[in-house]
Chains A and B, each alone.
Chain A
Amino acid sequence: MSEAIHIGLDPLNTIGNATARVDAVERVTGEAKYSRDFKLPGMLYAQILRSPHPHARIRSIDTSAAEALPGVRAVITGDNASVVWGAGSVSGGRQYNDPTKDATLHRRYIFNNPLRFVGDSVAAVAAIDRHTAEQALALIKVDYEELPFVLEPEAALEPGAPQVWPDGNLCPDFRNNFEPMVSNLGDVEAGFAEADQIFEERYETSFIHNAQMEPRAALAHWEADKLTLYSPTQGISNCRHDTARDLGLQDHQVRIICNYMGGGFGNKNQNQDADLVAATLSKQAGAPVMLEFSRRDDWLGVHGRWPTVQYYKIGAKNDGTVTAIQMRGYSGMGPYRKNSGGISGMDVYACPNRLRSISPVYTNRTTSGNFRAPSEPHGFYGVESMMDEVAYKLGVDPVEFTLKNMRRPTDDQPFTNYSLDEVITTGAQQFDWASRRKTTPGSDEGPIKRGSGFSFMMFRAGVGTSSAIVRVDAQRQYTLFVGVTDIGPGAKTTMGMIAAEELGVPLDQVEVVAGDTDRCPYSVGESGSRTTIQTGYAVMQAAKDLNQQIADSGMPTGSDVLIASATPNPSTDGKTRQCFGAHFVEVEVDTRIGTTRIVKYTTVHESGRIINPTTARDQIRGATLQGIGQALHEDLLYDPASGQPLTTGYYRARHLTHLDIPEIDVTFIEVDDGYGPFGAKTAGEAGIILAPAAMANAISNAIGVRMTSLPISRDKILEAMA
């Protein structure tokens, strides 16, 4: 097996030692219960009928034949089930709360009319088995009035474009202002005036479905006025809160259970319309309801990364100093602004003159939303491709260009620590950057060309306050109650390791109870790379409290227990706390057939102290590979004539398989900056941010043509070489 290289810190007693997951045996024996694996007595199966049209008004729905089918127990449509899915339409991706819910102008219901994309929900059926439910869907008669549709964000903003909403296609923000998101620092015009040369280019990136292996499902079960939902969610606490608000319940009336979850990468945050549909059907049928999404349901009904168009204008001096960065971007959000539509990246440069304007735009494609580092991989691809091009045009090594221009701590804005120089120079040395890169891009003779690319980043995790509870009994068994869901990165294990370290006991003396809102306190949820640092910090503080209690009053005896809880609000004393990373990749492009093969891939990350080297290594490797898939393959193509999505599935979107996978070398530079639990920072999203930019830069270095559109598929390489 290949281990990551660790530089900087020695392991502690538990933390820093390669540790098997606490639930690894359940995961390899089939004992692990995912949402769809539960079965309750009398449980019905549900399916959703989805819009076959990109934009259509429902004139009428006739459900009588479906209702008459033997075995059908409930049929719901917008006529008899009007429930707002708040988190599905929160303008700008703001945290969903009462004021936001009230303010949201363009609300998404569980069933909408008009229908605004192929896959929009029309009706749902619960029946005695899934095949009867499937049959019943086919019996629902819908009279559709087809409406004009628009698929591309720039086209959607042109005069006369079909209107997705009556107020125009520029998405409103959470205050219902119809304005682009603008960030303006310094004076770009002065920066351009100062420049020796100006560089301009248009970049575009594709829709990337999260494509997690577990399709969405929701099992809803009412006992009197209490709802239990077995739902795959990345945050049980927020899922509970949002579901309660949407259904007009109090938080304590909803219980969310999710111990194992088959991946989400951002599209299982909060609650989902599936939760609300299952709950509504269950109420109506008077029985537990299991709603199952097919893969195509999931592809269209659940969101993916927003596609973007990015126009850059860069001013630079001949010595390689960047004087101005301007970007005008468009993000295709589908018909609901579920999340921000952000395009980040330019803030890793120190250049004082930066102007960014992003227009999130409604289209009649499927909904866009968060995917692992929601605003970053496409933005870093755009800006770091642009800067790579500038560096080569100025005759400067892109690494030298970066070391000259990257953001560093200032007196005004100190960092808790800063290791980007070390990260980049370590990576360059390990990779042998100086000899692998082509000083003149495309200089290899013959049709098979090699080239190397580089990308770098700093990234701040999400914030939020979590709680944790630790208990010890007279047998010295410790139980940690923590509201995480183990969605893949290994949060249960990480939380247990942090508790064991602080308590000074072996990990197997700590039982971790997670994934159930009736048993666990609030946690921010597995999004924004924040579980380790936010919830982990709460675990550490609760364990400290328990240690103090034990010191004060001794271990409990008999049937007594000691219990400690903590809800800290981690502070960084006004300092910026970032993780850092750099990727280097050499590719070999066969210009006759357009294929790209990875020769060597080197990653260096500083994510503070690494809690579990095994799972951290695979967070970096897995996220990097997802980013390589984004760089080379993945897209959701639409037929412009019919508005039909064409690549709704793994084969069609061409996800990476075992045969596509290179070795990914991982190095962690470990630092304890005195913040976070034992100095841990964030790792979950770090790898994916860097891969598309590094891959694109490597391909351009190999073939000598700048690749301005993701994915860099074979046809685009052939076109570039033609």
Chain B
Amino acid sequence: MGDKNKADTSLNPKQRSRREFLESAGTTAALASAVPVLGISTAQAQSDIESTAAKTRIQLTVNGSRHSVDVEDRWTLVEVLRDQLDLTGTKIGCDRSECGACTVIMNGKPVYSCSQLAVWADGTQVTTVEGLASGGQLSPVQQAFVENNGPQCGFCTPGQLMTATALLSNNATPNADEVKQALVGNLCRCSNYNAIVEAVVMAGERSGSAV
């Protein structure tokens, strides 16, 4: 955005764009590989206010399906998932890496999709909550959430499930402390934490012992 816009509303958080925020945050591992892309798009963004925003074509695989999407440089991964691919199971709770409601699995690791620019997702494999069940069968952790009341309001549930799934793929039978450590970045304001941890432990015990 041009500087002229900053003067009027210096205390308004809206004035700080998504891209500016993510660039200044700059701690994510994906940043390094995305710098060349950002370098190009920053120049283009100067004219965004007056013209249609430039788009970059990215390819990504979501829940096993390949997608080719033309994305604006300011779009985040969660916007692509929700707005372009209609995968609205992934939620936006804070849009600032605080709450974890937007957690998806990218290349095997849980990430906050609100804090991944869409262009960074080029070439990645992404799993969302819609991809957990297969053949009409809930995954073990989904099934445990059903039985032990994992969701209250359910808004944090997709994120909790994705982090728990990533945990279980690395540690098939986690104990309660290990679950808490892994899920610390997923907030639940219903404070249904006890039930969530119990469900993840239960899922591990069931499928871990079956292996």
User: Which A residues fall within an 8 A CB radius of B?
Assistant: 1-2, 20-21, 24-25, 27-34, 36-37, 39, 47, 49-50, 52-53, 69-70, 118, 131, 134-135, 137-142, 210-215, 260-263, 265, 294-296, 487-490, 614-615, 617-618, 621-626, 629, 644, 649-651, 655-659, 661, 663-664
Contact = CB atoms under 8 A, between A and B. Distances in A.
A213 B9 contact: no
A131 B88 contact: no
Interface string B7-18: 011111111011
A642 B94 CA distance: 25
Nearest to B181: A659
Given A29-B133, A212-B189, A263-B189, A658 B88 contact: no
A184 B135 CA distance: 66
Contact of A30 (B15, B52, B130, B189): B130
A409 to B, nearest CB: 33
B138 A658 contact: no
Interface string B67-96: 000001011000000110011111111111
A93 B27 CA distance: 45
B168 interface: no
B174 interface: no
A260 B50 CA distance: 39
Contacts of B13: 294, 296
B161 interface: yes
Contact of A213 (B11, B15, B91): B91
B161 to A, nearest CB: 6
B155 A650 contact: no
Contacts of B72: 131
Contacts of B94: 215, 295, 649-650
Nearest to A623: B191
B9 to A, nearest CB: 6
Contact of B96 (A2, A21, A52, A649): A649
Given A49-B14, A213-B91, A263 B194 contact: no
B98 A650 contact: yes
Given A263-B155, A658-B186, A295 B12 contact: no
Chain B residues touching A, range: 35 or more
Contacts of A490: 149, 152
A118 B49 CA distance: 27
B149 A28 contact: no
B141 to A, nearest CB: 8
B153 A294 contact: no
B98 A262 contact: no
Contact of B195 (A37, A53, A618, A629): A618
A3 to B, nearest CB: 10
Interface of B: 1, 5-6, 8-15, 17-18, 48-53, 72, 74-75, 82-83, 86-96, 98-99, 101, 128-130, 132-133, 138, 142, 145-158, 161, 179-181, 183-199, 202
Given A625-B193, A655-B187, A661-B193, A21 B18 contact: no
Contacts of B6: 138
12 contacts: A20-B146, A20-B149, A28-B142, A32-B89, A39-B86, A49-B14, A52-B9, A53-B11, A213-B93, A213-B190, A488-B153, A617-B195
Give the top 9 A-B pairs by smallest Cβ distance, nearest first.
Answer: A30-B89, A262-B155, A52-B11, A625-B191, A488-B153, A37-B88, A30-B129, A488-B152, A27-B154
Contact of A295 (B5, B91, B98, B181): B98
A27 B87 CA distance: 14
Contacts of B75: 131
Given A131-B17, A294-B14, A622-B192, 5 more contacts: A30-B87, A49-B9, A213-B187, A658-B180, A661-B193
Contact of A47 (B11, B14, B183, B184): B14
Nearest to A294: B95
Contact of A21 (B86, B101, B149, B185): B149
A262 B146 contact: no
Contacts of A213: 91, 93, 99, 101, 153, 155-156, 187-190
A70 B51 contact: yes
A682 B5 CA distance: 52
A298 to B, nearest CB: 9
Contacts of B145: 24, 27-28
B74 A131 contact: yes
B50 A214 contact: no
Given A20-B146, A260-B154, A70 B50 contact: yes
A629 B191 contact: yes
Which of A296, A487, A657 neighbours the largest number of chain B CB atoms within 10 Å of its CB?
A: A657
B184 A657 contact: yes
B166 to A, nearest CB: 15
Contacts of A617: 149, 195
Given A24-B145, A27-B151, A49-B12, A488 B190 contact: yes
B194 A135 contact: no
Contacts of A52: 9-12
Contacts of A27: 145, 151, 154, 157
A655 B88 CA distance: 26
A188 B53 CA distance: 71
A657 B196 CA distance: 12
A36 B92 contact: yes
A658 to B, nearest CB: 4
B193 to A, nearest CB: 4
Given A52-B11, A621-B194, A626-B191, A215 B92 contact: yes
Contacts of A489: 152
A31 B89 contact: yes
B14 A137 contact: yes
Contacts of B1: 135, 138
Nearest to B155: A262
Given A28-B138, A49-B12, A263 B180 contact: no
A215 B91 CA distance: 10
Contacts of A53: 11
Given A70-B51, A214-B153, A661-B193, A20 B187 contact: no
Nearest to B133: A29
Contacts of B138: 25, 28-29
